[in-house]
Amino acid sequence: MANTTIISKVGSGKPATGQLQQGEIGIDIEGKKIWTWSSKDNDFIALSGGDINWNQIDPETFPDEITNILFPDGNPDYVDLTLLKAQVESNTGRIDALEAVVGDATGGLVKELEELKGKVNTNTANISKNTGDISGLSGRVGSAELAIEANYAAIELNAGDISTNAAEIERLEALINNSMTGLVLGGEYDAFQNKVVTCTNEGFAAGLKIGEALPAPSEATKGIYVIVTVEGPLSGTGTRAPNREEDGTIAHVGDWLVSDGIHGWLLFELGQQEVTFGMIGGSPYDNKALKDALDAKIDVDGTIVCGTYSS
């Protein structure tokens, strides 16, 4: 590595021509400056201390503050400090006005916050009261739930009975709403003696027997009916409790007893006190007894006297 020698000279004041060469340093003890010779400037220049020569500074490096001082000519690339100052002063007034508005708004906001705080306190009290009410209601609801649970067994039992009754009622309604169509004549019945007095083939097949009481209701007797020929109190034909036709109910001549196959022989009060049509219901075209009675009534084989005449 080559050695470099710096040549420095000590003097007083600015060096004279020829006292320093290019690259030599002159130290001015009196003026506290360092001098050197500049071939470019053809003069001695101070490297430290002394006055600043603005020509030695690159204008591109000037800060905006210096630029506005050096070029206050309204150049759009620069800021006019005078106008900026005026703008700042104007903004100061506006800022004061804004602070006043903000102060008023703050006061109003504080007032609204206080009102809201009061409402919140009121709501808090109401919520506390509602909490107590709800707790009391919860207790009552709990008691009611226990009571409901206690009744579940009874309710389910009743539901079963209701379901059973509903099915039986539907079957009974179906029988009644049948308007008597589809029923089969089983025979005639003496209510006074509680005996079957005549019996059709259908009645016999269903279990009816002449001289005996009506059989218990069954699937075989379902839809079978008998016609009352002798008035009297019913015995052993009623439905299960609560009975509609309890023992002792009077069946009149012409009434029907119809078996629903389940409950008993149901009484339909269709009776005629003077005339009974007997077995017309089952055999309207083959009733010798009715025909004989009608023939006798009109004396079909007799002589009909229509009146007298004289010559």
Whether the per-residue pLDDT at 144 is higher than 50: the answer is yes
Q: Are 229 and 272 in contact (CB under 8 A)?
A: no
Instruction: Summarize pLDDT for 69-79 with one digit per residue, the tens.
Output: 656 665 656 66
Convert the pLDDT of each residue in 153-188 to its tens digit.
Answer: 777 777 666 666 666 666 655 555 454 557 899 999
pLDDT in tens, 60-101: 666 666 666 656 665 656 666 677 777 777 888 778 778 777
**Residues 277 and 254 sit within 8 Å (Cβ to Cβ):** yes
Separation of alpha carbons 110 and 102, rounded Å: 12
pLDDT at 210: 96
User: Where residue 241 falls among pLDDT bands split at 50, 70, 90?
Assistant: very low
Asked whether the predicted pLDDT for residue 278 surpasses 70, the reply is no
pLDDT bin (cut points 50, 70, 90) of residue 119 is: confident
| Mean pLDDT score, 94-117 | 78
pTM here is 0.34
Lateral strand order in the sheet of 224-230: 195-199, 184-190, 224-230, 256-259, 265-268
pLDDT score, position 285? 54
Q: Break the chain into its structural domains and give their ranges.
A: 8-56, 70-177, 184-294
How many Å is the maximal CA-CA distance in the chain? 209
Question: Which one is predicted more confidently, 265 or 282?
Answer: 265
Share of residues in the chain with pLDDT > 90 (%)? 16
Share the mean pLDDT of the chain: 76
Q: Which of 52-56, 256-260, 278-282, 301-305 has the highest mean pLDDT?
A: 256-260
Greater confidence (282 vs 301) lies with 301
Most confident among 43-57, 123-137, 204-218, 268-282 (mean pLDDT): 204-218
Q: Is the pLDDT of residue 138 over 50?
A: yes
Q: What is the CA radius of gyration of the chain?
A: 68
User: Which tokens belong to 228?
Assistant: 């009352």
Q: Which residue has the higher pLDDT, 203 or 38?
A: 203
Angle among Cα 252, 257, 261 to the nearest 5 degrees reads: 165
